[in-house]
């Protein structure tokens, strides 16, 4: 009897349940069809905007740098700047072409700019860009720079003296009248937050602005690898790759040499400014260089990639007996340090005259060479540090940037 009742209930309610199942399945099938259609439309739209041909793409390999990428589509390349300043939330894509026919094909796409390469005339806005031009033997393409007195390189200074490079004022307020007169094919800019009105004005004048984010990278070799950014602009990828490989090789060999040293000298860095002592944070490139030189940087355990801001008492308590004091701001002598703050004389490194700075290695017009070349040549910076901290190594090496303060 119970079985008959169960069959009766099952027979009574099964059709509605099946109907519900079929209705639900139909609904989900319709949703799937709509989603697939929308996805296809999106892909087609993206392809038509940024990838107008069906050439096979090749991603140019980078070993350390994360702030840019290069994709080769055979008939053109795409340069993408991913992180031009800290906390940037926008990527910038530039199409690089060698023929006007491809330029026409790409017209109307969503690229920031379509640029013909190799570049014949350029404006850069940071001294850190100058070494890449010279290493690639393209310094003759530089036609303007904001603040030419900061440039230290003898090659480029000669071009300035020959009036082949024009002064453009200040980076945050470039003289657009002179810039338009020069009419460079591209301007390489940098920014701390993307709010540079001058760059927006320049872009409206049909001069492409490409943001360079080398300074945002978190390792010495990553920053140096940005020579490949310039290499693609001048159609010299192979040369840029070869130059970087040499720099990397020299850096890693120097690091390996220092690794075997048992004694690690203790290191203090930085100096006071308006009652605040600024020194490298534990994850900064400066701290990484000190680590690769096999030293004991006293503030290596601090977190962050920028500057560490401390009061005098905190620094003194931890570093009063440091063996070596590096990069004491812009002070050029022990006398200048003492005159600025008598408390500096309490440090053991000051008393033993073990204070070293790059501030005294300057160009003809006062530009500090380290601020120009140091980022592009971390191998030289590392060798300087090894020579200072482990004088028994690199016996015949003469420091390129750092000098002991008198």
> What is the SS3 assignment for 241-254?
HHHHHHHHHHHHHH
Pair 218, 78 in one domain = yes
Q: What is the pLDDT of residues 226-280, one digit of tens each?
A: 999 999 999 999 999 999 999 999 999 999 999 989 999 999 999 999 999 999 9
Does 12 map to a domain? no
Q: Are 77 and 50 in contact (CB under 8 A)?
A: no
Pair 221, 267 in one domain = no
Pair 190, 267 in one domain = no
Domain of 222, CATH number, reads 3.40.50.1980
Pair 227, 282 in one domain = no
Pair 268, 357 in one domain = yes
Does 146 map to a domain? yes
> Which pLDDT score, from 0 to 100, does residue 103 have?
85
CA distances from 214 to 80, 102, 225, 237, 382 (A): 13, 29, 8, 17, 18
**Cis previous bond, 118, omega within 30:** yes
Tokens of 182: 């020069």
In total, how many domains does the chain have? 2
Alpha-carbon gap, residue 287 to 297, rounded angstroms: 7
Which of 231, 247, 277 is where one domain is finished? 231
> Which pLDDT score, from 0 to 100, does residue 2 have?
38
Pair 275, 207 in one domain = no
Pair 69, 199 in one domain = yes
Which one, of 107, 48, 57, lies nearest residue 78 by Cα? Answer: 57
Does 18 map to a domain? no
The neighbouring-strand residues paired with 276 are 273
Alpha-carbon gap, residue 391 to 28, rounded angstroms: 74
The neighbouring-strand residues paired with 309 are 278
Does 236 map to a domain? no
Q: What is the pLDDT of residues 292-346, one digit of tens each?
A: 999 999 999 998 888 999 999 999 999 999 999 999 999 999 999 999 999 999 9
> Which pLDDT score, from 0 to 100, does residue 34 have?
43
Is residue 221 helix, strand or coil?
helix
Pair 224, 307 in one domain = no
Per-residue confidence in pLDDT tens, the chain, 406 aa: 434 433 443 443 333 433 334 444 444 444 444 443 443 444 333 333 445 555 668 898 999 999 999 999 989 999 999 989 988 888 999 999 998 888 888 888 889 999 999 999 999 999 999 999 999 999 999 999 999 999 999 999 999 999 999 999 987 789 999 999 999 999 999 888 877 888 888 999 999 999 999 999 999 999 999 999 999 999 999 999 999 999 999 999 999 999 989 999 999 999 999 999 999 999 999 999 999 999 999 999 998 888 999 999 999 999 999 999 999 999 999 999 999 999 999 999 999 999 999 999 999 999 999 999 999 999 999 999 999 999 999 999 999 999 999 9
Does 319 map to a domain? yes
Helices (H), 183-284: 197-204, 220-224, 227-233, 237-259
> Which pLDDT score, from 0 to 100, does residue 52 have?
52
Which of 231, 248, 272 is where one domain is finished? 231
Alpha-carbon gap, residue 368 to 130, rounded angstroms: 13
> Which pLDDT score, from 0 to 100, does residue 56 have?
66
> Which pLDDT score, from 0 to 100, does residue 224 have?
98
Pair 106, 213 in one domain = yes
- Give the H or E element holding residue 355: strand 355-357
**Three-point CA angle 144, 330, 338, nearest 5°:** 160
Does 34 map to a domain? no
Does 173 map to a domain? yes
Which of 187, 212, 231 is where one domain is finished? 231
- Expressed in percent and rounded to 5, the helix, strand and coil fractions of the chain are 45, 15, 40
- CB under 8 Å to 11, separation ≥6 — which residues? none
Tokens of 319: 């570093």
- CB under 8 Å to 59, separation ≥6 — which residues? 69, 70, 71, 72
Pair 125, 182 in one domain = yes
CA distances from 374 to 142, 291, 371 (A): 20, 17, 6
Pair 280, 138 in one domain = no
Which residue shows structure tokens 């017209």? 107
Beta strands in 224-328 (DSSP E): 266-269, 271-273, 276-280, 296-297, 307-310, 324-326
Does 80 map to a domain? yes
**294: alpha, beta or left? (left if phi > 0; alpha if psi -120 to 50):** left
Alpha-carbon gap, residue 70 to 146, rounded angstroms: 28
- Give the H or E element holding residue 170: strand 169-170
Pair 273, 129 in one domain = no
Segments forming the whole domain that contains residue 100: 58-231
> Which pLDDT score, from 0 to 100, does residue 124 have?
97
CA distances from 332 to 278, 335, 350, 405 (A): 17, 8, 13, 7
Phi, psi torsion values for 398, nearest 5 degrees: -105, 120
């Amino acid at each position: 009897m119970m079985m008959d009742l169960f069959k009766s209930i099952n027979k009574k309610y099964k059709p509605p349940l099946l109907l519900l199942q079929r209705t639900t399945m139909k609904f989900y099938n319709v949703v799937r069809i709509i989603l697939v259609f929308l996805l296809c439309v999106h892909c087609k739209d993206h392809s038509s905007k940024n990838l107008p041909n069906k050439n096979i793409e090749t991603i140019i390999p980078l070993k350390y740098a994360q702030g840019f990428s290069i994709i080769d589509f055979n008939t053109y390349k795409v340069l993408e700047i991913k992180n031009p300043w800290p906390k940037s939330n926008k990527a910038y894509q530039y199409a690089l072409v060698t023929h006007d026919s491809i330029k026409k094909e790409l017209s109307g796409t969503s690229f920031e700019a379509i640029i013909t390469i190799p570049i014949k005339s350029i404006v850069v806005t940071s001294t850190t860009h100058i070494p890449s031009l010279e290493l690639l033997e393209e310094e003759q393409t530089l036609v303007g720079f904001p603040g030419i007195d900061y440039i230290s390189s003898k090659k480029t200074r000669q071009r300035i003296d020959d009036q082949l490079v024009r002064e453009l004022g200040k980076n945050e307020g470039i003289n657009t009248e002179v810039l338009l007169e020069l009419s460079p094919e591209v301007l390489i800019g940098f920014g701390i937050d993307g709010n540079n009105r001058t760059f927006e004005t320049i872009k409206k004048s049909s001069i492409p602005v490409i943001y360079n984010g080398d300074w945002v990278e978190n390792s010495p070799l990553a920053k140096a690898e940005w020579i490949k950014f310039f290499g693609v602009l001048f159609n010299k990828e192979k040369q840029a790759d070869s130059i970087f490989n040499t720099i990397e090789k020299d850096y890693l060999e120097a690091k390996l040499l220092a690794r075997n040293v048992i004694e690690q000298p203790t290191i203090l860095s930085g100096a006071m400014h308006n009652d605040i002592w600024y020194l490298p944070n534990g994850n900064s490139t400066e701290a990484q260089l000190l680590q690769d030189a096999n030293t004991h940087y006293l503030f290596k355990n601090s977190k962050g990639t920028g500057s560490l801001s401390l009061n005098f008492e905190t620094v003194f308590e931890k570093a009063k007996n440091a063996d070596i004091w590096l990069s004491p701001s812009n002070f050029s002598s022990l006398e200048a340090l003492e005159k600025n703050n008598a408390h500096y004389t309490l440090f053991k490194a000051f008393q033993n005259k073990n204070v070293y700075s790059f501030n005294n290695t300057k160009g003809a017009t006062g530009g500090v060479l380290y601020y120009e070349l140091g980022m592009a040549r971390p191998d030289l910076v590392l060798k300087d540090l090894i020579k200072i901290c482990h004088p028994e190594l690199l016996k015949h090496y003469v420091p390129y940037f750092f000098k002991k303060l008198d």
